[in-house]
Amino acid sequence: MARTELRFAGFGGQGILLAGYIVGKAASIYDKKHATFTQSYGPESRGGACAAGVVVSETPVHYPHPVKPAVLVVMSQEACVKFEPGMPDNGVMLIDEDLVTPQRMNKTVKVYAIHSTRMAEELGRKIVANIVMLGFFAGVTKIVSHDSMKTAILEAVPAATKDLNENAFEQGYEYGLKAQPLP
């Protein structure tokens, strides 16, 4: 694997930055790859736009910011409108199907969809939608291993919510393993 650039985007309160952090930790500490994590967000703490950039590589990362992310994970329409036009040919976009309608400007981009927020609500806590999405991300892309992602998630969440988060991750992962790109 050469340099793989990822972007997670949505709005504040969805756990976008935590998702990027977890992927970077899973890749670097548990999968023994090189990874960087960067974040950007508006002045609003909840509801404003935010994005996390992750670079994963087998070799040292000399520039930490994604330039043209091959994988885009979007959990808000605003994020999709902002970042989808920059997708490279043959990129992969993962969307929360209840919140995002892709513009499909580049027909070579493969779009995978999951109802991550709805699945989280069915688990009893909407707040774990990002963890459902991380499972989906791991299942679809295989950029980080199942075990590394699971370990990183369980280390990042409060002890009282470990079972909920593990269940959210596993449901997203299983859904991702079976996912097919949208036509």
The CATH number covering residue 124 comes to: 3.40.920.10
Q: Which whole-number Å values give the CA distances from 127 to 52, 102, 144, in the listed order?
A: 18, 23, 23
Q: Using CB atoms within 10 Å of the CB of residue 170, give its burial: 0 to 12 exposed, 13 to 18 middle, 19+ buried.
A: middle
Residue percentage of the chain with pLDDT more than 70: 96
Q: What is the mean pLDDT of residues 2-21?
A: 95
Is the model's pTM score more than 0.85?
yes
Q: What is the mean pLDDT of residues 19-27?
A: 98
pLDDT of residue 44: 57
Cβ contact 172:135 at 8 Å: yes
Give a yes or no: residue 37 inside a domain: yes
> What is the rounded distance in angstroms from the CA atom of residue 110 to the CA atom of residue 117?
21
Output DSSP code: residue 51.
Answer: E
> What is the rounded distance in angstroms from the CA atom of residue 34 to the CA atom of residue 36?
7
pLDDT of residue 2: 87
With a CB cutoff of 8 Å and minimum separation 6, the contacts of 14 are 50, 75, 76, 129, 130
CA 137 to the chain's CA centroid: 6
pLDDT digits (tens, 9 = 90+) for 33-82: 999 999 987 665 566 789 999 999 999 999 999 999 999 999 999 999 99
Domain encompassing residue 77 = 4-178
Cβ contact 137:93 at 8 Å: no
Q: Which whole-number Å values give the CA distances from 84 to 40, 92, 161, 164, in the listed order?
A: 17, 10, 33, 31
Give a yes or no: residue 76 inside a domain: yes
What is the pLDDT confidence band of residue 1, given thresholds at 50, 70 and 90?
Answer: low
Task: Take residue 103 and report the two structure tokens written for it.
Answer: 């513009």
pLDDT of residue 43: 63
Using alpha carbons, select from 21, 83, 9 the residue that is nearest to residue 50.
9
Give a yes or no: residue 183 inside a domain: no
pLDDT digits (tens, 9 = 90+) for 124-182: 999 999 999 999 999 999 999 999 999 999 999 999 999 999 999 999 999 999 999 99
pLDDT of residue 47: 67
> What is the rounded distance in angstroms from the CA atom of residue 11 to the CA atom of residue 41?
8
What is the pLDDT confidence band of residue 32, given thresholds at 50, 70 and 90?
Answer: very high
Give a yes or no: residue 36 inside a domain: yes
Give the number of domains in the chain: 1
pLDDT digits (tens, 9 = 90+) for 86-113: 999 999 999 999 999 999 889 999 999 9
Cβ contact 165:128 at 8 Å: yes
